[in-house]
Amino acid sequence: MSWRYFPKSKPRRVEGGIKAKSRRGKIGEKWWSRRFVEVVESYSISNRIKRGKRYARGGQVLSLDVSEGSAHAAVQGSRPSPYEVHIGGSSLNADDWERVEQAMAERAAFVAQLLAGEMPEDIDEAFQACKFSLFPASYEAMETSCSCPDYANPCKHIAAVFYILAEKFDDDPFLIFRWRGRSREELLERLRRLRSSGDAAAPDQLPPEQATPLAESLKVFWSAGSALEQVRIRPGNTDVPDAALKRLGTPPARIGGVGQDLRELYDLIAGDSDK
């Protein structure tokens, strides 16, 4: 087999491409997007990766679509027709996702943060408990391809899509789950069902034989203890007082109109009600 040499050529200028927000230095602000970028950067430090970053900042990525299990993009190179890039997410199958969702549901904090649109900092623990990782363990674990004639993988077009995809992950962490094979809607519905049905275990609850008797705990009963340091509070204002209720969905019929009562209370507290 003989390698083909392709001389460097400038890409065609395009209008309306997707430009990386980062203009210099690293691309990817959040820890999860940096983890994603590290997968490709740890695999290759060639000039193609550096040129891919320039492509991303220059707006050469014309389109990007993330579906369950893969990402597809069009990248404008030096030829008239854009190149087609595919990056497979090494998606988990249905049984594997059920195991991961069960592990997530066992941690109430995970569910609360995900329902609020946030990515838990230790979310990978749920994947690791099932012998997986939030991201593919290596570049080889992903299916990547480009229609350009370059023999290298990743080529600069694939690298450009990696960087743009990382910034999309910054904006919406649920795209990561979608890329791994689970849509936002399906994931949140599964977590709600597991928590409401009581199928999720509570691993942080001590069995009776390990619990300290109350009589021996009176001196420290009202103290917070070291566990308080693990509580993360992110105060802030919201334009939608009942955002949490909307994320939780319609309450079960057995608790009647509590949802409407809570909405009125939220409006009252926020000063948006005349009551």
pLDDT digits (tens, 9 = 90+) for 223-232: 766 666 656 6
Give the per-residue pLDDT at 186: 93
| Residue 205 confidence class, pLDDT cut points 50, 70, 90 | very low
What does the pLDDT read at residue 245? 65
Spatial contact of 75 and 138, defined as CB atoms under 8 Å apart: no
CA distance 84 to 141: 20
- Range from 43-52, 96-105, 213-222 carrying the lowest mean pLDDT: 213-222
- The kind and range of the H/E element at 73 are strand 70-75
| pLDDT value of residue 207 | 47
Q: Which residue has the higher pLDDT, 129 or 136?
A: 129
Kindly report the number of other CB atoms within 10 A of residue 35's CB atom.
Answer: 17
pLDDT number for residue 38: 87
Please, which residues bridge with residue 70 across strands?
Answer: 67, 88
Report the mean per-residue pLDDT for the chain. 82
Q: Which residues of 201-223 are buried (b: 16+ CB within 10 A; e: fewer)?
A: eeeeeeeeeeeeeeeeeeeeeee
Per-residue pLDDT, 167: 94
How far from the centroid of its chain's Cα atoms is residue 179's Cα? 9
- Identify the pLDDT of residue 166: 94
| Among the listed residues 53, 67, 65, the one whose alpha carbon sits nearest the alpha carbon of residue 24 | 53
Q: Please give the residue that has the higher pLDDT: either 151 or 238.
A: 151
User: 């960087």: which residue's tokens?
Assistant: 163
Q: Assign 234 to helix, strand or coil.
A: coil
Neighbouring residues of 250: CB distance < 8 A, sequence distance ≥ 6:
259
Per-residue pLDDT, averaged over 218-223, amounts to: 71
Q: Residue 55: how many CB atoms within 10 A of its CB?
A: 25
Q: Decide the pairing of beta strands 144-146 and 61-67.
A: unpaired
Percent of the chain with pLDDT over 90: 39
* d(C-alpha 176, C-alpha 189), whole Å: 17
Question: Which pLDDT value is given to residue 8?
Answer: 63
Phi then psi for residue 264, to 5 deg, are: -65, -40
pLDDT of 275 higher than 50: no
Model confidence, pTM: 0.68
| Residue labelled with tokens 């969702």 | 101
Instruction: Quickly state the pLDDT bin for 214 (edges 50, 70, 90).
Output: low
pLDDT tens for each residue of 149-204: 998 899 999 999 999 999 999 999 999 999 999 999 999 999 999 988 765 554 44
